[in-house]
Amino acid sequence: MFATLSRLLNKAIQCDEASSARIAALQGKVATLELLPFHFAFQCVFTEAGVRFEKGELLSQDIKIAGTPLQLLSLSLADLTIIGDAELGQAILALFKAYRPDWEEGLSAYIGDIPAYHAHRAFQKMTHCLRRFRNNVTENVTEYIHEEAEWFPSREALNDFYEEVDALREAVDRLEERMKC
């Protein structure tokens, strides 16, 4: 399984020229990734040929990154537990964040230029529609939770509350000062 995953990842990396340069900068480094709460660990070894995955924690690691699968997919340092070289962790996450493959070029090798162009355009349109759909659903659910169901206060109500708390705190401080005199 790890050999197949390595082969697929390396083929995907080849679709993005900038990623190849970033991988070269990580050559010789070993990163252990741990999927929580399962405590399933595997290692990413960065080599000249690309990335190789190894099961377990057999090799000496330069960094260990732990998080849930969703946290790892979000590629956010704030959500992950990093043990070791934080700069290396940032470089590894930057590799995946900056990944911009030329899918059309890769697909054209298999089906030809014109079908690849149209497939890529259709995929872009579908991605755009899905992104718009996600944003609309998020906005509608947020509006329902705050305005219709009133399960949570609106941002304006929270700001008003915080301002009132600050005013009350200032009044208490003033009263405390007057009582000292």
pLDDT per residue as tens, the chain (181 positions): 888 988 888 888 877 777 877 888 889 999 998 989 888 999 999 988 888 998 888 888 999 989 888 888 776 666 788 899 888 888 888 888 888 877 788 788 889 999 999 999 999 999 999 999 999 999 999 899 988 888 888 888 899 999 999 999 999 999 999 998 7
List of residues 6+ apart from 98 with CB closer than 8 A: 18, 19, 22
Tell me the pTM.
Answer: 0.56
| CATH code for residues 2-97 | 3.30.1050.10
Domain boundaries defined on the chain: 2-97, 104-180
> Under DSSP, is residue 45 helix (H, G, I), strand (E, B) or coil?
strand
